[in-house]
């Protein structure tokens, strides 16, 4: 997209789900309006790179391990056993909210398990009940510093936003 182009989105979000307002890594956006049809929270997210975290040591039977800094940015992780990268959904599964890693096969006894990933530091800074809009704030967003709108209602919530491309991500 070019500087000044309008960015917008809208989606139906299930109870407990989120709409992520996050530009591609090459762009910065300024969001002017966020609309919602029911209760929700506005969450500011900052990504922090974690490299070489020691997750644990295999014992030949344990398949479940936990990362130290959840929640994680989705699909940002690389999990290693003795320095060999493992394949998500083949060698392991991961819960991005809790940091739980479950290996398909237990790592061998003495195997060192490490991880690289992006920790998602979250700050909830506003919430609304009922339908409405956040039109009194302007939000600058980048690929590593963005907004999540969480549906806190019991049912589906239509959440949307609009803004402009304001620059390349420097």
pLDDT in tens, 34-47: 889 999 999 999 99
Asked if residue 33 has pLDDT above 90, the reply is no
Same-domain check for residues 107 and 163: no
Same-domain check for residues 97 and 56: yes
77 within a domain of the structure (yes/no): yes
Asked if residue 136 has pLDDT above 80, the reply is no
Q: Which of 14-23, 77-86, 106-115 has the lowest mean pLDDT?
A: 14-23
The arrangement of strands across the sheet holding 18-21 comes to 18-21, 145-151, 40-57, 112-128, 78-81, 84-85
| pTM exceeds cut of 0.85 | no
Same-domain check for residues 101 and 136: no
Q: What CA–CA distance (Å, rounded) separates 71 from 98?
A: 6
88 within a domain of the structure (yes/no): yes
98 within a domain of the structure (yes/no): yes
92 within a domain of the structure (yes/no): yes
| H or E, element range at 168 | strand 157-168
* Distance of alpha carbon 120 from the chain centroid: 6
Same-domain check for residues 32 and 52: no
**Total tally of structural domains belonging to the chain:** 2
Q: What CA–CA distance (Å, rounded) separates 103 from 81?
A: 10
The per-residue pLDDT for 143 is 87
* Distance of alpha carbon 152 from the chain centroid: 17
What does the pLDDT average to over 81-87? 98
What does the pLDDT average to over 42-63? 96
Same-domain check for residues 106 and 53: yes
Same-domain check for residues 86 and 133: no
Place of tokens 């803004």: 163
Same-domain check for residues 111 and 53: yes
Q: Would you place residue 138 in the very low, low, confident or very high pLDDT band (cuts 50, 70, 90)?
A: confident
Same-domain check for residues 107 and 58: yes
Same-domain check for residues 115 and 52: yes
1 within a domain of the structure (yes/no): no
149 within a domain of the structure (yes/no): yes
**Cross-strand pairs, 13:** 157
Domain extent at residue 109: 47-120
């Amino acid at each position: 997209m070019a500087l000044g182009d309008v960015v917008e989105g809208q989606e139906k979000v299930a109870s407990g789900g989120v709409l992520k307002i996050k530009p591609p890594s090459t762009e910065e956006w300024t969001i002017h309006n966020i609309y919602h049809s029911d209760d929700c929270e506005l969450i500011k997210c900052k990504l922090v790179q974690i490299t070489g975290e020691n997750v644990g040591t295999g014992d030949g039977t344990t398949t479940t391990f936990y990362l130290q800094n959840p929640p994680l940015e989705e699909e940002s992780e690389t999990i290693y056993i003795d320095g060999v990268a493992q394949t998500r959904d083949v060698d392991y599964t991961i819960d991005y909210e809790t940091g739980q890693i479950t290996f398909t096969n237990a790592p061998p006894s003495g195997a060192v398990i490490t991880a690289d990933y992006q920790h998602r530091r979250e700050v909830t800074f506003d919430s609304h009940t009922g339908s409405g809009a956040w039109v009194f704030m302007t939000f600058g967003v980048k690929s590593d510093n963005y907004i999540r709108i969480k549906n806190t209602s019991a049912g589906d919530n239509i959440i949307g936003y609009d803004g402009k491309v304001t620059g390349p991500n420097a």
